[in-house]
Structure 1
Amino acid sequence: MHAQHYSPQGASQMASDAANPLPRRKVVVLKALDDDQMSTLREHHDVVVLPEGLSTQAREDALRDVLRDAHGLISSGHVITPSLLDAAPVLRVICSVSVGYDNYPLTAMNARGILLCNTPDVLTETTADTGFLLIMATARRAVELACKVRDGQWTESLTPSHFGTDVHGKTLGMIGMGRIGAAIARRGALGFNMRIQYSNASPKPELESELGATRVELDSLLETSDFVCVTVPLSEQTERLIGRRELELMPASAFLINIARGRVIDEGALIECLERGGIRGAGLDVFEQEPLPASSPLTRLPQVVALPHIGSATHETRRAMAQRALDNLLLALAGESPLSAVNETHWTRR
């Protein structure tokens, strides 16, 4: 889809109307924007950018200080607590450069009438590419075998002990079937003739018709899928959704792919399962602790492909995400509905 950008209309038209301009507001930026995006933001509002390189506590103290009179915040990755909101009495909108919003206290924001915006759509295809990359890399043992070539260990023809697994024609089980899950399923069904089943999502009759997908219970999906791909958002209901019991349901020949959030899977149980050969492999872009500690067994298990949370990390997509966050903020501070809001019904437009 084509990206939409902020364009002064209605109330925002007054921003360029000298006779009746919109008031300039203070905006705090935690997530770096491109130079031209920062210039656009500064045209409309007074901008404070937190410096890089601060310790965790110093950054928290600095953020608490600058939020005292801030009306807007652009962030990504920083955990916003109700305590921080208490220090921001005039805050009107937080725009996250992400789709997931588990770093934000939505209940507390709703109670205060603070708008939360995110960036769906613009990263769907890129993140789905990453998901399918992990499916292919784990099945064909691409990282493991590439390391053998790099380290000079490819000295003879491959034996069956080095063979991988076909992807085409296999069963792909999607835990979650939102935008990203559907995009991965589409790649599997249309590009690799995979059978698609899904769970932990409302019925998707259009996708069932398009892809021949089947909605099943989670246990059945785990028992009958060759590849299990997790794309659900993190919530109280999905935290550690996949634990020891669920992993034991998977065939020893199956692969687990996680591009959702690390805490959706019990990482200790997954490590134990991989070490005893309970499943064939895992492709992981997210972890319970990020960056992943060098001491984690996941860094040493050859059947694991571990990526440093690259889901949406391309130049094009990250710029589009930042642009969406910027557009959301400019519209919200102009009193208009943003392009993608999480909780607009709770927003107090003041």
Structure 2
Amino acid sequence: MMPSRKRPVVVVTRRLPNAVETRMRELFDTRLNIEDRPMTAAELAEAVQSADVLVPTVTDQINASLLAQAGPNLRLIANFGNGVDHIDVQAALARGITVTNTPGVLTEDTADMTMALVLAVARRLAEGIRIIPEDEWAGWSPTWMLGRRITGKRLGIVGMGRIGQALARRAKAFGLSIHYHNRRRVALPIEEELEATYWDSLDQMLARMDIVSVNCPHTPATYHLLSARRLKLMRPDAIIVNTARGEIIDETALARMIEAGDLAGAGLDVFEHEPTVNPRLVKLARQGKIVLLPHMGSATEESRFDMGEKVIVNIRTFMDGHRPPDRVLPSML
């Protein structure tokens, strides 16, 4: 561990809430990104060369090539966020650099947004929101803007971690039947509480669901987990929602199926090549066939503040010579 005799140089790659930045300035020799624009590769290289601690976000690619340029003082990457798929954790470990994240604090907010997307797609909320401002409403009609009832439908959750379980609790309250696929079956008391049905075969679950929600992390094993082949297993009246990572779904195949009417709709908060969004998805959104959000699943004031607090705790614990509470190891991914 690093000695704690001097204030560590902490480089923050994006703008954080004022209260978090102020506290970090009080505790550390903190270099802030006042402009709040993603750092270039050259700027990130300069950061890892000068920092004792790097505080990146999902917009930063901390790969092996960048870590090879790290200075001798870089010993901690305290990620501002839960997902660490943008960080080569194995390469960091090989260089003696500890990686931490901020788990737990965005669970409820992301589950809220996932449930909101389920409702938005099923009940055509995005289309309805545009009608009155664009002066297209001629009055109520028995057959106009008909969506789908969600009560009594089957929800298949891909990834039953913290967020998946929080979503299941919300969905159960809406009268949905809970199904899930996960690397490991969850504890029996959780299954019983949620009245959840476990599927060890993702293929079999997908073929039977009315709604599918993606809530697993992005790892090499989950890249295009919902491939063209798997998407074709879904029923044509089913909808899919993704608030996890865009790389988990084959976006091109998804767009093609919705265009052809082979899937009823989708709600996406994340995209495979953020911030670029597949033009076919944008066109479908303009047609009212899918709902697109700009990666705002965890975007609450409370969540961002709590994430910052976790980053600070991880840095202080590490600098005091102890193992930080949110250390990430390759075996965890």
- Identify whether the pair has TM-score above 0.5, normalized to the shorter chain: yes
User: Secondary structure of the equivalent of 1:150?
Assistant: coil
Question: What is the alpha-carbon distance in structure 1 between the residues aligned to residue 309 and residue 169 of structure 2?
Answer: 27
Q: Which of 316, 321, 326 matches 1:340?
A: 326
Q: Say if 1:81 and 1:218 are closer, same or farther in 2 by CA, change over 3 A.
A: same
| Paired residues of 2:14 and 2:36 also in contact (CA < 8 A) | no
Amino acid aligned to 1:337: R
Q: Retained in 1: the 8 A contact 2:121–2:239?
A: yes
SS at match of 2:149: coil
Distance 1:214 1:72 in 2: 43
CA drift of 1:200 comes to 2.9
2:170 to 164, 183, 187: 187
Counterpart among 158, 164, 169 of residue 175 in structure 1 = 158
Structure 1 residues 248 and 66: CA distance shift in structure 2, 3 A: closer
1:294 and 1:344 mapped to 2: Cα distance? 31
What is the deviation of 1:211?
1.1
Once the two structures are overlaid, the 10-residue window that deviates more, 335-344 or 317-326, is 335-344
Partner of 2:95: 112
Query: Conserved in 1, the CA contact under 8 Å of 2:236 and 2:263?
Result: yes
Point out the more displaced range, 134-143 or 244-253: 244-253
CA distance in structure 2 between the partners assigned to 1:304 and 1:202 by the alignment: 31
Partner of 1:326: 312
1:312 aligns with 2:294: no
Partner Cα separation in structure 2 for residue 234 and residue 345 of structure 1: 14
Which residue, 7, 12, 20 being the options, matches 1:29? 12
Deviation at 1:55, TM superposition (A): 7.9
Looking at structure 1, the residues matched to 330 and 256 of structure 2 have their Cα atoms a distance apart, in angstroms, of 43
2:35 — aligned with what?
52
Cα distance in 1, alignment partners of residues 36 and 23 from structure 2: 25
Contact 1:169 1:194 in 2 (8 A): yes
Matched residue, 1:221 = 205
Which of 233, 240, 243 is the matching residue for 1:249? Answer: 233
* Correspondence for 2:53: 72
Instruction: Specify the code of the residue in structure 1 equivalent to 2:92.
Output: M
Match of 1:158 in 2: 141
Kept in 1: contact 2:109–2:297 (CA 8 A): yes
Post-superposition offset of 1:46 = 1.5
Instruction: Return closer, same or farther for 1:286/1:54 CA change in 2, 3 Å cut-off.
Output: closer
Q: Scaled by the length of structure 1, what TM-score is found?
A: 0.87
How many correspondences in the alignment? 326
- Report if aligned partners of 1:175, 1:228 keep a CA contact under 8 Å in 2: yes
Take 1:227 and 1:32, find their aligned partners in 2: how far apart are those partners?
36
Give the partner amino acid of 1:137: A
Specify the alignment match of 1:8 in structure 2: none
Distance in structure 1 (CA, Å) of the matches to 2:331 and 2:294: 35
1:271 to 216, 233, 255: 255
- What is the SS of the residue equivalent to 1:100? coil
RMSD over equivalenced CA pairs, Å: 2.3
Q: CA deviation at 1:323?
A: 1.6
Aligned counterpart, 1:286: 270
SS of equivalent residue, structure 1 residue 61? helix
Match for residue 93 of structure 1 among 62, 68, 76: 76
SS in 2 for 1:256: strand
Look up the SS of the partner of 1:162 in the other structure: coil
**Deviation of the 1:159 alpha carbon:** 4.2
51 and 36 in structure 1: CA distance in 2 versus 1, 3 angstrom threshold? closer
Larger radius of gyration: 1
User: How many Å separate the matches in 2 of 1:49 and 1:163?
Assistant: 49
Instruction: Encode CA deviations 1:245-295: one digit per residue, 9 max, x unaligned.
Output: 111111111110011111100000000000011111101001112224483
Q: How many Å separate the matches in 2 of 1:284 and 1:163?
A: 21
1 CA distance for matches of 2:210 and 2:148? 10
From 169, 175, 182, give the equivalent of 1:200. 182
* Amino acid in the other structure paired with 2:160: M
Q: In 2, distance between residues paired with 1:207 and 1:246?
A: 27
Q: Deviations over 1:136-155 (max 9, x none)?
A: 11010111122122211111
Using the alignment, how far apart are the partners of 1:110 and 1:200 within structure 2? 27
Cα distance in 2 for residues equivalent to 1:210 and 1:53? 43
Distance 1:51 1:42, change over 3 A: closer
Q: Which residue, out of 118, 127, 134, partners 2:110?
A: 127
Note the residue ranges of structure 2 that are not aligned, 5 or more in a row. none
Q: Does the 8 Å contact 1:263/1:287 carry over to 2?
A: yes
